[in-house]
Amino acid sequence: MDFGSKRRWGGSVPGHEVKKRKRDEINEQIMGNYFNDPPLYGDGLFRRRFRMRKSLFLRIVDEVSARNSYFVQKRNASGDKGFTPIHKCLVAMRMLAYGGSADGLDDTYAMAETTVIDTLFEFVETVIDLYEKEYLRPPRARELEVILRQNEARGFPGMIGSIYCMHWQWENCPSSWAGMYKGHKGKPTVILEAVATQDLRIWHAIFGLPGSHNDINVLQRSPIFDELASGRTPEVEYWVNGNPYTMGYYLADKIYPNWATFVKTVSAPASMKHKVFASIQESCRKDVERTFGVLRKKFKIIYNPARMWSHKKLNGIMRACVILHNMVIEDERDIYVNPEDTQGFEGADDPPVSQNRDVPAIDKLINTYNCIKSKETSTQLQQDLIEHIWGLYGASTGPFATR
């Protein structure tokens, strides 16, 4: 072997075994299993195996293949037909849904390990390119109105959602980075910060910070309040216990700071009022924890330890999974939620929050951040909500409740 010459990767290599994978037969089998009329496996099994309804999947296939020529069926150098768009998208979704090894799909879908990996990352990048603007954004004005109405009915006027962080273990984290990414979990992890609502829709997501951070460190690097400080969010006005407020808030864990935009539970509640408030707050804050549970169960690739070497690829997979999760929530909202409760979720036709994109003066920006971080407002809001919750639920949860 000539050690002075550079080894050539890719393409045909002399001596390597050539496998005839009979792609046409596998493609016919896929169509017969799921897409012919009648299919061997019905809509319920399709939804179970690929985490979405068939109609949504076919829409994604059409739009992905229109955007990225990688998914268009082509002929190779020998004239054989390549994989169809449905074939490639099925393999990518199977990888996201089950998180198994790429080599394990060869005997089922007749696709080599390297092609499976390439298909997965092409799919992930195209999904982000196509849908990130619509499915990774804060709520628009009419959507926010619906969210506020739903949360007010639960006892929290002015509540926008719940905020929390999730860790994704990074099994193949480079050794030189392991100390930076290893936190209280004991193994290298990467953090996802998200805001979710009762219907499990994720309205804010930032991923990529090392697992050595805690929720406060993540918050200090998060852009969650940038739009609010810049005056580009819808106005929120509500009254609690007779007092007016002009900023929405998130339900948060105890570790979060005492800001006007967070409402936390009461530590070691002593009085009945505090116990009732803590119970209701912790129950509603489960929205975001339920969302993380559904997201990880739906896409096992982020439930299992990540085996990729590249931080960029991890970021792409997580963002694509959040986008697909939100697409499924929007597509299936009418199945699980009363349609009257979701009037106002108009989708892409809903007008933007504001057309004014002027950058505010630095003094105004600082004053807004001071209002966001106001401990006095945080204390007053919590006290008002304690009284408000007691007025709604106290009689039914107290020691003299009627059974």
Entry pTM: 0.88
Distance CA 180, CA 306 (A): 16
CA distances from 227 to 61, 67, 128, 205, 339 (A): 33, 30, 21, 14, 29
pLDDT tens, residue by residue, 117-138: 999 999 999 999 999 999 999 9
| Angle at 187 (CA atoms; ends 183, 193), nearest 5 degrees | 55
Distance CA 218, CA 220 (A): 5
For residue 291, what pLDDT band results from cuts at 50, 70 and 90? very high
Percentage of residues in the chain having pLDDT higher than 90: 67
pLDDT reported for residue 373: 92
Closest CA relative to residue 304, chosen from 184, 189, 186:
189
Q: Give yes or no for a contact between 54 and 46, defined as CB atoms under 8 angstroms apart.
A: yes
For residue 15, what pLDDT band results from cuts at 50, 70 and 90? low
For residue 360, what pLDDT band results from cuts at 50, 70 and 90? low
| E strands, 223-336, in order | 238-240, 243-245, 249-251, 262-263
CA distances from 390 to 155, 160, 279, 364, 396 (A): 10, 21, 11, 37, 10
Distance CA 350, CA 141 (A): 8
The mean pLDDT of 146-168, rounded to a whole number, is: 96
pLDDT tens, residue by residue, 325-341: 999 999 998 765 554 55
Distance CA 109, CA 98 (A): 14
Q: What are the structural domain ranges in the chain? A: 23-133, 141-397
Q: Residue 12 — φ and ψ, nearest 5°?
A: -75, 135
pLDDT tens, residue by residue, 184-243: 888 999 999 999 999 999 999 999 999 999 999 999 999 999 888 887 888 899 999 999
The mean pLDDT of 18-45, rounded to a whole number, is: 88
